[in-house]
Amino acid sequence: MAEFLNNYGFLIVTVVQQALLGMSLYYPLSAGQLSLASPGFYALGGYIAAIIGTAELFAPWRDLLGKAVFPLEWIIAGVASALLSLVIGLPALRLRGIYLALATIAFVQIVRVISLNLSITGGAIGIFGIPQLFESRWGYIWIFGPLLAATLLFTWRLEQGRIGRAFRAIREDELAAEAMGINPTRYKAQAFIIGGTLAGVVGAMSAPFLNTWNARQGTFDASIAYLAYVLIGGTRSLWGALLGAALLATLPEILRPLNDSRLIINGMVLVIVSIYLPQGIVGALARLRGAGKKKGVPAGGKT
């Protein structure tokens, strides 16, 4: 067991962490909004944790709080991300479809360039030697695991309730939802803020986990990776992000013997899945099950 964790502990924690980031993109998507902003908030959260963990200025905090400084970092990162997503979200969410996606890509790029140039974020080198919460990488499962469980439970409850129904209504037809008395701006902003906050908290937890934090954490590539988790897993189920992350985050490991060419295969998977599994894995499984029960059911709406 110890050997297993030694070999695969990091990978398992990474899958959970990536699944959480996929979830952060799932909320806006479940309200019909394609936002790629998550890496921006993830980077912000990570920088907050890294700065509180290393800067001279915060040394008294660290001495005073000991390990309790970590939860404080998560809270600060969460609050900061929530505020920033409110500021970004309110104007941006007037945009639809590809326009919103482009605006959020711009946001991620702006955060990246700024963090590359400020001295507090360590410029191009970034911040390293971030204090650890656990002795081994595997230990981090004790924060990411409960966070994932809580997120899944929260999402499940959310989807059962009024807010989740409003999200779905907006996704299906925003005008109709508005005519039914749902305020689209409010719910879209909620979905965006929940996603942004989650990404920020995950960032704050990831900075110690990864030990270093730099501008490479919040890039366009990351946006695409998170989007791919959700799309490949399935956009219509909260399990989609988890499944997609499990598949795509482990794929490079499984393909490690192929070394340089493994990203080529990753890219091919993206193409093939978008064409042949447009509803994602969850959608395909549901359809298989549906086909077993009754035949001739039209294959769902659009993704």
Partner 1 sequence: MTTAQFLQNLLNGISIGSVYAIFALGYTLVFSILGIINFAHGAVFTLGAYLTYAMAVGQFGINGLLSGLSIPVQLPFPVALLLGCILSGLVSVLIERLAFRPLRNRGGDALLALVSSLGVALVTVNAIQYFVGSEIYSFPPEIYGDIKPAITFSIGESVVVIRTVQVIIFGVCMAVLVSLGFLIARTRFGKALRAVAENPATASLLGISVNRFILYTFFLSGFLGGLAGSLVGTSFGVAGPYFGVTYGLQGIAVIVLGGLGSIPGSVLGGIIIGLIEAFVPPDYSAYKEAVSFALLFLILMVRPQGLLGQSQIQKV
Binding interface with partner 1 (CB under 8 A):
34, 91-92, 94-99, 101-103, 105-107, 109-110, 113-114, 116-117, 173-176, 220-221, 224, 227-228, 231, 260-261, 263-264, 266-271, 274-275, 278, 302-303
**205 half-sphere exposure, CB direction, 13 A CA radius:** 27
Bridge partners (DSSP) listed for residue 127:
213
| Strand segments (E) across 90-164 | none
Q: How far is the CB of 4 from partner 1 (least distance, A)?
A: 30
Of the two residues 65 and 102, which places its CB atom closer to partner 1 in the complex?
A: 102
- As measured in angstroms, the least distance from the Cβ of 69 to partner 1 is 32
From 300, 145, 177, select the one nearest 237 (Cα to Cα): 300
- Residue closer to partner 1 by CB (options 68, 176) is 176
- Summary count for the chain: helices (H), strands (E): 13, 0
Q: How far apart are CA 102 and CA 227, in angstroms?
A: 14
CA distance 63 to 166: 46
62 vs 216, beta carbon nearer partner 1: 216
* Distance from C-alpha of 288 to C-alpha of 291, rounded to nearest angstrom: 5
In the complex, minimum distance from the CB of residue 40 to partner 1, in angstroms, rounded to a whole number: 11
Closest approach of partner 1 to the CB of residue 142, in Å: 33
Identify which of 34, 29, 27, 37 has the alpha carbon closest to the alpha carbon of residue 158: 27
Least distance between partner 1 and beta carbon 171 (Å): 10
| CA-atom Rg of the chain in angstroms | 20
Nearer to partner 1, 109 or 250 (CB): 109
Q: Which is nearer to partner 1, 267 or 290 (CB)?
A: 267
Nearer to partner 1, 94 or 186 (CB): 94
- Rounded Cα distance, 229 and 239, in Å: 10
Alpha carbon 225 to chain centroid, angstroms? 9
Smallest gap from Cβ 161 to partner 1, in A, equals: 23
